[in-house]
Amino acid sequence: MKRVKVSLTLIALAAIFSMTLHLEQLNAEPITMDINKALDPGPGFGTEKIGSLTIDTQNKTLDISANMTAIPKQDKVFEAWLVDADGSNYKLSLGAIEGGSLKTSEHMVNPYTYTQFIITEEPLDDADPNAAGTYGGAELQSPFGQ
């Protein structure tokens, strides 16, 4: 009976240690990068800087700040997205970029599946939930893309 208690205690400690390591992986240094105009034809991004992006990850929460120097066409608005480009190609809308900037905080189970941050140019009052063609973006740096 004593051996079973010791084994269960060791299993519990190993599980707690494993969870602690996993949570530490979710706390990364803030990442700041350029947002560059999309290549035409794509995929990918060129070298023309159209904005900047900062992502700070703490305890499964992404704090995202984007500032655009480019201006959308008349009757259009820029929209920001996270993309799982190396997997399902799922695009998560972060919302419209208003006045040239976006600040958002997103709670996620696994934010590191996303590999790209993209900007699309959408019609004002767009009812379509899908992303339009990519206007610009950035390849997310490590620890993203895991």
Q: Using a cut of 0.85, tell me whether the model's pTM lies above it.
A: no
**pLDDT at res. 51:** 97
Sketch out the chain's domains with CATH numbers.
Answer: 28-139 (2.60.40)
- pLDDT above 70 for 16: no
Do the Cβ atoms of 37 and 50 come closer than 8 Å?
yes
pLDDT band at 60 (very low <50, low <70, confident <90, very high): confident
114-141 pLDDT tens trace: 999 999 999 998 999 999 999 999 999 8
Q: How far apart are CA 53 and CA 95, in angstroms?
A: 14
3-state secondary structure of 64: strand
Do the Cβ atoms of 80 and 54 come closer than 8 Å?
no
